[in-house]
Each structure stands twice: as structure tokens, then as C-alpha cells.
A = this chain, B = another copy of it.
Amino acid sequence: MSSENSVLLTDLYQLTMLQTYHSGRMNEPAVFELFIRRLPAERGFLLAAGLEQALDFLENLQFTAEELDWLDRSGRFSPDFVASLETFRFTGEVHALPEGTVFFANEPILRVIAPLPQAQLVESRLINLIHYQTLIASKAARCVLAAPGKLLVDFGMRRAHGAEAALLSARADYLAGFAGTATVLAGLRFGIPLYGTMAHSLIQAYDSEMDAFEGFATAQPNNVVLLIDTYDIEAAAHKVVTLAPRLSAHGITVRGVRIDSGDIAEHARRVRPILDAGGLSQAILFGSGDLDEYRLRELLAVDAPLDGFGVGTRLDASTDAPTLEMVYKLQEYAGKPRRKRSEGKATWPGRKQVYRQSGEDGVFTGDCLGLEAHPQPGQPLLQAVMRDGQRLAPPESLDTIRQRVRHQLAALPPALRSNQTAPLPYAVDIAPELRQLTAQLDRETH
């Protein structure tokens, strides 16, 4: 079994706590909420992503016989506790922000209500799944905003952190508005459009660059984008121009060239006229190599004649902000609101909802974090997605989510759309009833 499907992909303390809840028969409903404590300094907003994988996880959660046997032999747990895990399933309800929804600090993006042991056990993997896709979708959205109208392709598989990140980054990038990915498995699994042609090794394996271009073009006649920076970029561009009529005679069109090193803006400026003069004005220029939203902005600011970009490592590892302070906190147990008061990590108690207000033009004007029982003005964002451990609707299509992202990004206040971060030009207010509940709990808890 892969790590992706094992219920033991969790922290040991979840199991030691479950043993405690088992001993104490603590099985009342618990309300946990998943949220971000603070935005990274480099982010003005985030995009919720990963819900579908999280719901898959909850629907399929169970211990295998091998896992139970191993837990039993570990000597850490009582036999009757381990036996109780045999029938352990997730039977709770879940509210969540639809994937692709913009959100901010302290706003729940997922709420779980379930018997305490169930709601507890799922913490580590829920964060693990939602954290990563949210991280990457948020970064990808910044790339999309930085390069409007450009073809953006995810090239990050190899340096994403492991297999699941390699696969799910493609999904997160695509839902945020990328045109597609180089990751083949994301095509098979999610139907995401695939892009890719050749690496430098193909050029090097041939004794001449011209032979390599011709060999590739005849073997992949519908996919002729040629990599021109293995040796000398301008010389390679001239070879492409020389080759194009020969290919054309066989009905093969050069669709573009890729530049992967050096100052790609400057190289593109030299290559474009060579291609144009050679009758290849339809061929696109595709750039890659250490790109991210900052570099894309620079390239567009200097009007680099590039039509598309492969964005890889810096995107799929979110290198400028590689993690989010995402947490999953108990807000109510057995009908009583709960609050953690740890220094710098205090939580807002109770079952909450996010209320978002918009202007007449549809642009978001501000959010309010309030109690579900005390609705505030604005649109409530958390929606019911699971009850009795079962999804309430089939998974949303990626097209649906992509469309939501387009609307959400268009509704961002201009300062956020232009990537402003600090000071954050957007207010998340706390509803008065929530402040009152918090103060009351602080007086009572001992």
C-alpha cells in the first residue's frame, strides 16, 4: 500500500490521544476547524485547494489488518483499543470553502464535526493534503496574475517534494489557471492538458544539433517545439529556419522554440527576428528556467517577446513561502465551545462561518469571521460537503473550479490583484458575538 492511502500516515500523538479517548469513553461530537494563523509575508491572499483529495481520504479511511497487527505488536496500546480500530470509519460531517475560493488568515477553510476520536485522527493528513495544494494553487494564481494572456505550463515535477507533490502540484497549478502540465500522470488521473517536447540530452545524443531537430520533428510531427539553447542560441535559431522548409515539404510545421538558459528576454529579442525573417512568424517563443511570478513580472515589464512559459521548481516548491501556518483546532466539544490560549497561538472558539461582502461591481470589500449561529451581513462561504461520512455531491470538475478561480481573481480588490502583501489592503473583521464568546470562555476555563 502506498503512503497516500495509509491511515498510519499520521502523527503518533493522534493514536495516543485516541487511546486516551477510548479509555475515557470520550466520544461526544467535536468541532475542529482548519485555518491559517497568518498569511506569509509574501502573500496577500490564498486560494483554497485540495478538498477533493481530503474528502477521498475521509470516505476511504480505515485500518488494514496488517496495520492493526503492527499496532498491536507495538505494545503501545491496549488490545481492546486496537480491536476497536477494526471498525473505525469516518462518519462525520464536513463544511468547506469550495476549491478555488479566495481566503485570508483565521478564516476556516474546512470544518469537521464528528465523534472526537474520528475528528482527531484525521488532523495530520487533512492538513498535509490541504496545505500543499492550497500553497501551490495560491502561488500559481500569482503567476497567472503576473502574466495575463500568456501560456503557462507546470514544469515542476522533478523538484516537487516527492511523488504526491509532483502529481498534485499539477492539479493545483491547473485549477489556478495554468494551461497544463508536463506531468504525464496528471493527464491520466485528472485529464489535465499535457505539454512537453525535448530536453538537452536529445540534442546532445545526436552528433549534430540539426540532425536532432530533424529527428525529433519527423518522429513527433504534431508537436514540434525545438529547444535551441544547448550550444549557441542564435546559431540554433538559424538552423531552425533552414530546416523549416524541408519539414514543411513533409507537412510538418515548426510550432515554436524554447529557450531555457541565460537572459531569456534578451535571447528572445534576438531569436524573434531570425524566425520572422525565416518565414516562421507563427512560431511561438517559449521560455523556461527558474521562473516564478516575480521573474514573469520582470519579463513582461521589459516586453520580452515570449509567448509562453514553463514554470517549475520555484512554483511547485513555493520557494519564496514554502509552507503555510495551517492548523486544525478544536473549537467545540460535547456542545461546549473550547479555546486554546497559547502565546501567539490563541484561537477563536465555536462553530464559525466566513461572511464576505462585495460591492456593486462584484469586487470583494471585506470579510467578517462570525459564529454560524449569529449570521453577519455578506455571503456565507463555508458550504456543507459531507454528511454521515459521505460526499453530498460528486467531485467538482476542474473546469468548474477553474471558472470559479477566474471569477474570484477578477473580484479581488486591485491592490491584492497586483500582488500587494503588506500592509494587507483587505479587512477580516471579527463579529461582536464571537468576541463576547471568547471573553466569556477566558473567564471560565481553568
Q: In the complex, what residues of B have CB within 8 A of residue A16's CB?
A: 196-198, 216, 219-220, 223
Contact B200 A342 (CB under 8 A): yes
Q: Is A340 an interface residue (CB 8 A)?
A: yes
Residue numbers in B under 8 Å from A127 (CB-CB)? 158-159
Binds B, one of A99-107, A323-331, A376-384: A323-331
- Give the interface centre of A5, A9, A22, A194 by most chain B CB atoms within 10 Å: A9
Q: Mark A333-344, 1 if CB is under 8 A from B, else 0.
A: 110101111111
Q: Are B159 and A261 neighbours in the complex by a CB distance under 8 Å?
A: no
- A436 beta carbon closer than 8 Å to chain B: no
Q: Which of A355-405 contact B (CB under 8 A)?
A: none
Alpha-carbon separation in the docked complex, A102 to B318 (Å): 27
A4 engages B4 (CB within 8 Å): yes
Partner of A12, one of B164, B194, B343: B194
In the complex, what distance in Å separates the CA atom of A340 from the CA atom of B155? 20
Asked whether, in the complex, the Cβ of B338 is within 8 Å of the Cβ of A204, the reply is: yes
Tell which of A88-96, A183-191, A275-283, A411-419 binds the partner: A183-191
The yes or no answer to A410 lying at the interface (CB within 8 A) is no
Kindly supply a per-residue 1/0 record for chain A positions 112-141, scoring 1 wherever the CB is within 8 Å of any chain B CB and 0 otherwise: 000010001001110111011001000000
Which one of A24-32, A143-151, A299-307, A426-434 contacts B? A24-32
Cβ–Cβ contact B262 & A344, under 8 A: yes
A203 to B185, CA, bound (A): 43
Interface check A353, CB cutoff 8 A: no
* C-alpha gap A317/B167 in the complex (Å): 17
Q: Is A168 on the interface with B (CB-CB < 8 A)?
A: yes
Q: Are B261 and A198 in contact (CB under 8 A)?
A: no
Residues of B within 8 A of A161 (CB): 132, 135, 160-162, 164-165, 317
A185 touches B12 (CB 8 A): no
Is residue A2 within 8 Å, beta carbon to beta carbon, of the partner chain?
yes
In the complex, the answer to whether A162 meets B17 with C-beta atoms within 8 Å is: no
Please give me the residue from chain B that is nearest to A222 by CB atom: B76
A123–chain B nearest beta-carbon distance, Å: 7
The count of residues in chain A whose C-beta lies closer than 8 Å to any C-beta of chain B is 111
A345 within 8 A of B: yes
A128 touches B163 (CB 8 A): yes
A258 CB → nearest B CB, Å? 10
The yes or no answer to A215 lying at the interface (CB within 8 A) is yes
A159 lies within 8 A of B326 (CB): yes
Cross-chain contact B9 with A167 (CB below 8 angstroms)? yes
Contact partner, A13, options B199, B215, B334, Cβ 8 Å = B199
Whether A158 contacts B131 by the Cβ 8 Å rule is yes
Give the distance in Å from the alpha carbon of A314 to the alpha carbon of B321 in the complex: 11
Contact of A333 among B4, B158, B205, B260 (CB under 8 A): B205
Checking B5, B116, B207 against A205 with a beta-carbon cut-off of 8 angstroms, the contacting residue is B116
Residue pair A329, B201 in contact (C-beta under 8 Å): yes
The answer to whether B220 and A184 have CB atoms under 8 Å apart is no
Min CB gap A103→B, angstroms: 18
Given contact pairs A201-B330, A205-B116, A446-B209, A230 touches B341 in the complex (Cβ within 8 A): yes
Give 13 A-B contacts (CB < 8 Å), ordered by A residue. A13-B199, A17-B198, A24-B219, A127-B158, A128-B158, A160-B161, A161-B162, A231-B340, A231-B445, A260-B342, A261-B344, A261-B345, A262-B342
